[in-house]
Amino acid sequence: MIGVSVIAVLAPASAAFAQGQNGESSKYTLEMVQGSPFGLATRNDRSEARNGGKLLEVWRGGNNDTVWMSLNNGTPFQIGTGSATHVAPAVVPWGDRSFMVLHTGTDGNIYY
């Protein structure tokens, strides 16, 4: 009897979960950045933040340790020269229209 009750509860829930979140697609779409026909490539998670109507995405390169950023899905650029990390960088809103990007350098120091 308990097994039937569990199935009766899970069946409607499974249908709801399959629909996804409101405003979200039910299929996977590559994250695109300008100038890349293959989509964004990273070996870790990408981080994103919105502030003042702008979107900043930050990630570790898909085939290197370089820290990359893209503002409003525009052309990717690096933080200065030689920025590198072995873990995923993070971005947070800062002030009214700015961002702060944080990453652990390959030397173990934290940079922002």
51 touches 99 (CB < 8 A): yes
Nearest to 44 by CA among 11, 20, 76, 66: 66
| pTM of the entire predicted model | 0.65
pLDDT tens per residue, range 78-104: 877 778 888 889 999 999 999 999 999
Read off the pLDDT of residues 2-59 as tens digits, 9 standing for 90 and up. 545 444 444 555 555 555 555 565 655 556 666 665 566 666 778 999 999 999 999 8
